[in-house]
Amino acid sequence: MGISDVIPVPVAIDEEIEKWTIFGQPVAEVWFTTTEKIHQIIQMGPIKNIFNWGRKNSVYFLMQPMGCCGVEMFVFGAAPYDSDRFGCIPRNTPRQTDVMIISGYLTRKYLPVFKNLWEQMPEPKWCIAIGECAISGGPFYDSYNIVQNTGDYFPIDVYIPGCPPRPEQFLEGLINLQEKIKQRKDLREY
Amino acid sequence: MDGLIEIITAFAAQEPGIFALIIGIIGAAVLSAVVNVGAMAVIWADRKVMSDFCNRFGPNRVGGRWGILQLGADAIKLFTKEDVIPAGVDKGVYVWAPIVASAGTMLVAAAIPFGALHIGGKDYPLVVANMDISAFYVEAALSIMSIAVFMAGYSSNNKYSILGAFRGMARMIAYEVPMGVCVISVAVMAHSLNLVEIVQSQTVWYAFAQPLGFIIFLIALVTDLGRIPFDQSEAEEEIICGYNTEYSGIRWGLLYFQEYNNFLLGSILVSLLFLGGWHGPIIPIPLLDMISPMIWLVMKVVIVIWFIILVRAALFRLRIDQVTDLGWKWMLPLSLVNLGWAVIIGSYFA
Amino acid sequence: MTTASEVLSSIQSAFPGAVSDARVESDRRLWATIDSNKILDVCKHLTNKLNFDHYSGSAGIDWIARNEMEVVEIMASHGAHQVVAMLKVKTPRANPSVKSLTGLYWNASWYEREIWEMLGINFEGHPELYPLLLSDPLVGVWPWRKDFKGYPDYTTGERAVAIPTPDGYTEYSFPPTQAEIEAGTVPTERPKYPTFLERETREIKSDSEMIMHLGPQHAMVPGPFLLDVLVEGERVKKAFLDIGYIHKGIEKIMENRTWLQDIVYTDRMCYVASLSNNECYCGAVEKILGLEVPERAQYIRVILEELSRIQSHLIGTGEFLTLIAGVGFAPWQYMIMDRERIISLIESVTGARLTHTFVRFGGVRNDLPDGFAEQCKKDLPYMRSRIEEFIELFAQDPIYHARMENVGSISPETGKRMGCAGPVLRATGVAYDMRKEDPILVYPDLDFKVITGTRGDSADRIDVRMREILESIHIIEQCLDRIPSGPIKTEAKIPKKVPAGEAYYRVEDPRGEMGMYVISDGGDKPYRVKVRGPFYATFQTLTPLLEGTYIADAVAIAGSMDGCPSESDR
């Protein structure tokens, strides 16, 4: 990793900067040890709690209707159930979302696309599996085209059972996820 | 009080360079604080007022039942998100786009009077850079955002983004001309391009003196801000998020925030140019009479902001060809008509 | 009026010896086995001479015991008469191949592609016989054949070739076996759906063009499907559609569940219209069983189906509004709020919001709760005033008119030729409604109009849906006035095993004509259930409509179709 990965500079300048020194140390090394230290301090102290408070109260979900649960997801984001109350709004680009809602049957044809979407989301990110189909294949457990256990492919934080679950259950799942974020139980090895 | 002013004037006479620098730094700090806090309030109002129009509650879990801290939570989350720079983007331009956007809004803010203090029967306007052509300058600097939008869309290496960038450019060019003509019409009546003088010359609000110009300017402003019915550059349902599809974390947060900065500054500009700025009866209460021009300006700005939010809740989005059609075939000729009207009325009353 | 027996005699006199094993079930249903060499001529004869201008789909059946396969062409008419002709074409199981009807009917393409990928029946003369619903590696497993044992298959395990993916899981591919290649009918390489890069190199002619994905994940899609548009600037020059992202294999699963369990699966075909799907399946089975439904149950079914139509149209229109106005647009939120009232009415009867499983063979599951009629009488007038308000809102909005009028127009002839269904077809001016064409339940006694449009554009489609809601409210009010007391289930005992037989039953889904073709071989499970979905039929017309429009229009057109990919993928 060079400086140009952090700050946009041409590669030639990047190589030049690598040679610079400060306090007898290479500049790049000082930069990265400093940022590392900052990260460690953040992880330890009450700052992390503030971060988690922010993350907890601002959960944007990816609008991705896939099945019956997709319709309920639509209603969950709209006026009758109003997920915006919890700071949870739908976004359409995975780059700006924090939680992926698997809202229905995941087929073999769709799985590669879905993986791609998941990987486009920036860390930290969470995943909610909604409905029987996403949890275990549900009524389609013996179908030739359905991925039976989405947990094998995605690190799922909250399971919301139901076929389809009611929007109230969506809200409950969201609150559970918020609790999980707050308790810092979302730390995962990647 | 008098002693302090004497010391300051003495210092200014002795070291004019340093004095200007100190004043500049203080001005910039106060300015960015005022503008950014104002924009935060606008974002909050946008979410809550939109929710109200849509029969919802809107954020009400953090910061009391009004959800005042919602924006804080959003900002903390965006600050601590992973900073993704996708492979294949034009990195330099990609990284600089949000910064150019922020710089653009600050440039606008520098020349906008944020009100006036009423002391001893005289208005002292609060403006950082009181330049002679500030009306024109502000109108031009508002469109720096469009350049940032183009930078963001072009550099993202994404098909949605490039379409958003082109749409933003086409729209900006089509509406910048009628907007400029409207500003000239105002200047013709006010005999000045200085915003402070324009406000001071408004014995009759220019919204009444030239209603056509007011309407055209308002429409062109909504276009410049990229809000429905003119949000083609980020039309969520067509090209996902348009120019900021590939932006994530705080970079997206900055771009998003600058839109609202512009929203606030644009609303202030409308109030200054057409709604009489800080004009209004002085409230005869001690201390309140000093800031009463500010109160009037804030009230006008709030009404403009509320109106633009209402437009978003009530109108459909236009297609990009209809937008440019409207701009070139209706807005521009009508703004020229308005210019003629302004010249006639202006010279009659002069 | 033409009747089924007249149709049969006309075919027999025109093509002596072509028809074997014909059966006239009623005035409206004709079953006939046609010589596979004559099928094209018979279809031409039906279309040109007997007004069979509605190619309604085809079904493939694997008769493993008889060692043959069957393709059933379903032919009907757009209002000229009410006969549905089920023309069966037989082909040996070892080397299945029949003639393609794509030359005669534009919309035959998808039906035949589906039969090919699911059953391996080759269609001679089909121009683009590549997979429709399945992903490429799965082609060759022929999942709908009766000897298919699951994926990846135990018995045909040696056929499956494991492909490890970079993500760490395993895909399987099913290339042609040696025996199949030696038989000579199967090419060594199966046709594949063109990849994005292949399509780019083939289609892009100049630097100013690009292919853009609208889907599978996009704000426009009501469920995952892939719409690739070739754009030059803002203009769409060509569009490509790829579906099957939520193909669940419902038709196969239904063959492996008991008759009663299958009702559950019909719910999940189109989740915003599950009651009419229930009705369609149960109606077909009742037809085989010869069951009479008590009158009260019929009224209850009608009430619920119309309520279901209202909520489906509301959410469809609501989603459409977000597409052309953004999510900040207030009226769509009002629509969803109003829909909640209807949902709670349905919920008070069936106990579920979306997936009801309410209709039973020969009746319904339970009676209307106390106070249902009073609640309806409170909610429905409110609904009517709201809908009238919405209609007025759309009629008065100049931007709406500028955006929607003459966008994606379909002429009546094109609509019929392409086989559109439901409000999309009725917006063109063709009054084709199953409730009038093939009346079921108590619909013949009820007074209602078939709503039609004039221009067939996006604005008309929305307008037709909105005015249909008013008609539905009218129907429900009549039903509430007339509903008799009595049993809600038939007295007759319903056997576990349904006697051998077949039936084709059509209902008016919110999205148009839905048909189910149910075959029983006398067992406790259906032998084959073929679903003729309305959106599957309408979906095909999307790509030609998009050519030459703007991207914003493409979104508006796709939205005004009121899509339900779950039903088209099944």
Interval C544-552 mean pLDDT? 88
Strands A99-102 and C501-509: unpaired
Band of the pLDDT at C355, cuts 50, 70, 90?
Answer: confident
Model pLDDT, residue C353: 87
| CATH no. of A60-182 | 3.40.50.12280
Decide if A80 and C336 are in contact by the 8 Å CB cutoff: yes
Tokens of B102: 């922020």
* pLDDT exceeds cutoff 80 at C67: yes
At how many degrees (to 10) do helices B16-53 and B70-79 cross? Answer: 110
Using one digit for the tens of pLDDT, what is the confidence trace for B7-56? 878 877 887 888 888 887 887 888 888 888 888 899 998 888 888 888 88
What is the nearest CA distance from A140 to chain B, expressed in angstroms?
31
Return residues 132-161 of B near C (CB < 8 Å).
159-160
Return residues 17-46 of A near C (CB < 8 Å).
none
Model pLDDT, residue C501: 87
Band of the pLDDT at C559, cuts 50, 70, 90?
Answer: confident
Q: Which domain holds residue C209?
A: 194-242
Q: Judge contact between B155 and B147, C-beta under 8 A.
A: no
The answer to whether C333 faces chain B, any CB pair under 8 Å, is: yes
| Mutation to test the C interface, candidates A60, A71, A73, most C Cβ within 10 Å | A71
Interval C295-310 mean pLDDT? 90
Model pLDDT, residue B303: 93
Interval C397-407 mean pLDDT? 87
**Tally of domains within chain C:** 3
> How distant is the alpha carbon of residue B306 from its chain centre?
14
Model pLDDT, residue C388: 92
Model pLDDT, residue C178: 67
Decide if A87 and B76 are in contact by the 8 Å CB cutoff: no
Cα-based distances in Å from C84 to A102, B337, C4, C28, C107: 41, 66, 8, 6, 17
Model pLDDT, residue C447: 87
Return residues 198-217 of B near C (CB < 8 Å).
none
Domain boundary among C108, C133, C158: C133
Decide if B55 and A93 are in contact by the 8 Å CB cutoff: no
Contacts of B50 in chain C (CB under 8 A): 328
Interval B313-324 mean pLDDT? 89
Band of the pLDDT at A9, cuts 50, 70, 90?
Answer: low
The answer to whether A110 faces chain C, any CB pair under 8 Å, is: yes
Q: Is residue B25 part of a domain?
A: no
The answer to whether C324 faces chain B, any CB pair under 8 Å, is: yes
Alpha-carbon dihedral B320, B323, B324, B326, rounded to 10 degrees: 160
Interval C54-73 mean pLDDT? 88
Contacts of B312 in chain C (CB under 8 A): 326, 328
Would you call the peptide bond into A139 cis, given omega within 30 degrees of 0 as the criterion? no
Contacts of A110 in chain C (CB under 8 A): 216, 224, 245-246
* pLDDT exceeds cutoff 80 at A20: no
Q: Judge contact between C216 and A117, C-beta under 8 A.
A: no
Model pLDDT, residue A189: 40
Bridge partner list, A127: A100
Q: Judge contact between C438 and C78, C-beta under 8 A.
A: no
Return residues 224-243 of B near A (CB < 8 Å).
236-237, 240-241
The answer to whether A90 faces chain C, any CB pair under 8 Å, is: yes
The answer to whether C393 faces chain B, any CB pair under 8 Å, is: no
Using one digit for the tens of pLDDT, what is the confidence trace for A62-119? 888 888 888 888 888 888 888 888 888 888 889 889 899 888 888 888 888 888 888 8
**Chain C adjacent subunits, 3+ CB pairs under 8 A:** A, B
Bridge partner list, C31: C23, C86
Rounded-to-integer distance, Cα B194 and Cα B206, Å:
15
Model pLDDT, residue B126: 78
Q: Which domain holds residue B149?
A: 82-349
The answer to whether B60 faces chain A, any CB pair under 8 Å, is: yes
Model pLDDT, residue C36: 83
Phi, psi angles (nearest 5°) of residue A128: -115, 130
**Tally of domains within chain B:** 1
**C436 and C319: one domain?**
yes
Contacts of B232 in chain C (CB under 8 A): 552
Using one digit for the tens of pLDDT, what is the confidence trace for B53-69? 888 888 888 878 888 88
Contacts of A97 in chain C (CB under 8 A): none
The vertex-B73 CA angle with A177 and B307, nearest 5°, equals 115
Contacts of C403 in chain B (CB under 8 A): 316-319, 322
Rounded-to-integer distance, Cα C293 and Cα C300, Å:
11
pTM of structure:
0.87
ipTM of the complex: 0.84
Decide if B82 and A124 are in contact by the 8 Å CB cutoff: yes
Lowest mean pLDDT, pick from A26-35, C208-217, C456-465: A26-35
Using one digit for the tens of pLDDT, what is the confidence trace for B254-312? 888 888 998 999 899 899 888 888 887 877 887 788 888 888 889 999 999 999 999 98
The answer to whether A115 faces chain C, any CB pair under 8 Å, is: yes
Band of the pLDDT at B335, cuts 50, 70, 90?
Answer: very high
B245, closest residue in chain C (CA to CA): C218
Contacts of C138 in chain A (CB under 8 A): 108, 144-145
The answer to whether A85 faces chain C, any CB pair under 8 Å, is: no
More confident residue, B269 or C157: B269
Contacts of B166 in chain C (CB under 8 A): 233
Q: Is residue B196 part of a domain?
A: yes
What is the nearest CA distance from C561 to chain B, expressed in angstroms?
16
Band of the pLDDT at C93, cuts 50, 70, 90?
Answer: confident
Model pLDDT, residue C191: 74
Model pLDDT, residue B131: 83
Q: Is residue C524 part of a domain?
A: no
The answer to whether B123 faces chain C, any CB pair under 8 Å, is: no
Query: What is the percentage of chain C residues whose pLDDT exceeds 70?
Result: 93
Interval C331-359 mean pLDDT? 89
Contacts of C327 in chain B (CB under 8 A): 236
Query: What is the percentage of chain B residues whose pLDDT exceeds 70?
Result: 99
A85, closest residue in chain B (CA to CA): B59
What is the nearest CA distance from A165 to chain C, expressed in angstroms?
9
Of A50, A55, A93, the CB nearest to B245: A93
A62, closest residue in chain C (CA to CA): C217
Decide if A55 and B55 are in contact by the 8 Å CB cutoff: no
Using one digit for the tens of pLDDT, what is the confidence trace for C508-540? 888 888 889 999 988 888 898 999 888 888 888
The answer to whether C403 faces chain B, any CB pair under 8 Å, is: yes
B319, closest residue in chain C (CA to CA): C552
What is the nearest CA distance from A178 to chain C, expressed in angstroms?
25
Tokens of A81: 């159930």
| Mutation to test the B interface, candidates A14, A41, A95, most B Cβ within 10 Å | A95
Rounded-to-integer distance, Cα B164 and Cα B238, Å:
10
Using one digit for the tens of pLDDT, what is the confidence trace for B241-259? 888 888 888 889 888 888 8
Using one digit for the tens of pLDDT, what is the confidence trace for C276-292? 899 899 999 988 888 88
The answer to whether B245 faces chain A, any CB pair under 8 Å, is: yes
The answer to whether A136 faces chain C, any CB pair under 8 Å, is: no
- Domain boundaries defined on chain A: 3-44, 60-182
Contacts of C333 in chain B (CB under 8 A): 54-56
Model pLDDT, residue A190: 36
Q: Is residue B72 part of a domain?
A: no
Decide if C330 and B313 are in contact by the 8 Å CB cutoff: yes
* pLDDT exceeds cutoff 60 at C156: no
**C235 and C298: one domain?**
no
Band of the pLDDT at A1, cuts 50, 70, 90?
Answer: very low
* CATH code, domain carrying C406: 1.10.645.10
Domain boundary among C133, C155, C183: C133
Model pLDDT, residue C185: 56
What is the nearest CA distance from B315 to chain C, expressed in angstroms?
7
Interval B236-244 mean pLDDT? 84
Interval C390-401 mean pLDDT? 89
Q: Is residue B35 part of a domain?
A: no
Model pLDDT, residue C183: 62
Decide if A51 and B80 are in contact by the 8 Å CB cutoff: yes
Q: Is residue B77 part of a domain?
A: no
Lowest mean pLDDT, pick from C119-133, C301-315, C366-380: C119-133
Cα-based distances in Å from C481 to C369, C468, C469: 16, 20, 19
Cα-based distances in Å from C453 to A31, C416, C461, C462, C467: 68, 14, 7, 10, 10
Domain boundary among C111, C133, C155: C133
Decide if B76 and A53 are in contact by the 8 Å CB cutoff: yes
Band of the pLDDT at C187, cuts 50, 70, 90?
Answer: low
Model pLDDT, residue C155: 43
Lowest mean pLDDT, pick from A26-30, C171-175, C250-254: C171-175
| Mutation to test the A interface, candidates B53, B76, B89, most A Cβ within 10 Å | B76
The answer to whether A45 faces chain B, any CB pair under 8 Å, is: no
Using one digit for the tens of pLDDT, what is the confidence trace for C218-277? 888 888 888 889 998 888 988 888 888 888 888 888 888 888 888 888 888 888 888 889
**C220 and C354: one domain?**
no
- Average pLDDT of every residue of chain B: 86
Q: Is residue C528 part of a domain?
A: no
* pLDDT exceeds cutoff 50 at C57: yes
Decide if B317 and C324 are in contact by the 8 Å CB cutoff: yes
Cα-based distances in Å from C439 to B157, C112, C444, C445, C447: 55, 29, 6, 10, 13
Using one digit for the tens of pLDDT, what is the confidence trace for A148-190? 778 888 888 899 988 888 889 999 999 999 888 887 655 544 3
More confident residue, B167 or B123: B167
**Chain B adjacent subunits, 3+ CB pairs under 8 A:** A, C
The answer to whether B55 faces chain A, any CB pair under 8 Å, is: yes
Contacts of B321 in chain C (CB under 8 A): 234, 550
